[in-house]
Structure 1
């Protein structure tokens, strides 16, 4: 018998805990199944499902491959632009907020208040921000950019703060001893340590924002979401198929590129 096997056998077995946890999981699963209602599925519903699948498998190639302003290609480029600019806005706003929320950089009351602000920003869903900006600036890509930017701040600032608080403080202590100002410590002592991590997190957020930008089109914030919901409401399933194919291909390409960039940043 190996040492690992001996340690596993010697480890105390809390059967009561395991049994209780198993019962809770089974009860939650059974409760979730109770919400599934199959009675409303009738022949017409199955016919609609068949039409959806048939339309998606036979996409409108003219809509998919043309280069007009109503084409999938143009709308996907607009969606990428919204996600990219929104990510840049969010990253720029997140850097000063992250430093203000880091308790090893600023006094704890300031850090606590900034963290409270970031929690508030993260609490509001992206669709709510989208509706708010549409009321202020009207429907269009600008509303989408601002919505993506604000929603990115909540996540990026949190991850930036975690990275800042794990910094090697010896560098800061050395810079303090030679009389460096707070700005100089941030510029020459902190940012060089954090730049690759900040870029990696920002690229990951851009990958997420691509999906957010697609959804925001549903409320009129530009991008491909609005044509998708219009096609679904009009039962034009071949157009839905063309839009979904374009979205899937675009997201796969962006995810592949972002993974490559993050790998290079980590190795670098």
Structure 2
């Protein structure tokens, strides 16, 4: 018991730092709340919120089960296709960039420059990329695919690098000792170890891209976002309810399947 008491007394007193941290957080919370204008909430806003909830309860079933190109099912498939294709393109392009930014693979100056490029790519929000590509390619799914590809590159490269730099470097050193080039080290010494982890990361990014693809439709980059905003602007709440129900079900199904696949990859 004496040993425990002595150990407890030797512990540094962190009460002052904890109180200071709580005080700083409280000040930041109060300061952040000062930017929220509660008077902006009007009776009309509450009415719209009520109508959206009613739309979820009483959706337009004809639209929900419409199999034409204007139906919810077609738009959901288009949204999923945009997210999937954008993820695949981004995942492929991210692989060389990740290896070029890994300090244990390439010289540090090269790694530093590529990392700066990836930081710049990640800095710009997806909605901004969407607006840019809509101007370049016009309205439609192609702009959405390009946006998803570019936004995926930034995040996937960063996650790839974290995995690459955690590798056992003894394998690379042994390959270097027998005269292997950088490409050979990547192809035969690294990729076989990383394929499962990379695939798990790609599936995780696909989950995110599916949500982003729905939002990109708001700026005309294809998918279900555009019909959603049009229905809301026209106060067609039953259509809004149908679109939201379809979107929620799609995301739940994809997330369930992707979690199962990722769990198997991690175990296997």
TM range (shorter): over 0.9
Deviation, 1:193, is: 0.9
Describe how 1:101-120 pairs up with structure 2 within 5 A.
101-120=101-120
Residue by residue over 1:152-186, the C-alpha shift from the partner in whole angstroms, topping out at 9 and shown as x without a partner, is 00000011111111111111222222222222211
Distance 1:224 1:116 in 2: 34
Aligned residue number for residue 264 of structure 1:
264
Moved more, 47-56 or 84-93: 47-56
Deviation, 1:33, is: 3.0
Residue by residue over 1:173-214, the C-alpha shift from the partner in whole angstroms, topping out at 9 and shown as x without a partner, is 222222222222111101011111100100000000000100
CA 1:57/1:184 → structure 2, altered by over 3 Å: closer, same or farther? same
Gaps spanning 5+ residues in structure 1: where? none
Aligned residue number for residue 30 of structure 1:
30
Describe how 1:171-182 pairs up with structure 2 within 5 A.
171-182=171-182
CA 1:42/1:186 → structure 2, altered by over 3 Å: closer, same or farther? closer
CA 1:26/1:177 → structure 2, altered by over 3 Å: closer, same or farther? closer
Distance 1:154 1:164 in 2: 16
Partner SS, residue 153 of structure 2: helix
Describe how 1:45-64 pairs up with structure 2 within 5 A.
45-64=45-64
Describe how 1:1-268 pairs up with structure 2 within 5 A.
7=7, 10-268=10-268
Distance 2:140 2:255 in 1: 26
Moved over 4 A (4+): 1-10
Gaps spanning 5+ residues in structure 2: where? none
Distance 1:183 1:36 in 2: 54
**TM-score normalised by length of structure 2:** 0.94
The total of aligned residue pairs comes to: 268
Deviation, 1:25, is: 1.9
Deviation, 1:42, is: 4.1
CA 1:43/1:100 → structure 2, altered by over 3 Å: closer, same or farther? closer
**TM-score normalised by length of structure 1:** 0.94
Residue by residue over 1:12-43, the C-alpha shift from the partner in whole angstroms, topping out at 9 and shown as x without a partner, is 22222122222222222223333333334444
Distance 2:44 2:131 in 1: 35
Residue by residue over 1:27-68, the C-alpha shift from the partner in whole angstroms, topping out at 9 and shown as x without a partner, is 222233333333344444433332222122211111111101
CA 1:5/1:41 → structure 2, altered by over 3 Å: closer, same or farther? farther
Distance 1:5 1:161 in 2: 45
Deviation, 1:6, is: 7.1
Distance 1:213 1:91 in 2: 16
Distance 2:218 2:6 in 1: 58
CA 1:105/1:4 → structure 2, altered by over 3 Å: closer, same or farther? farther
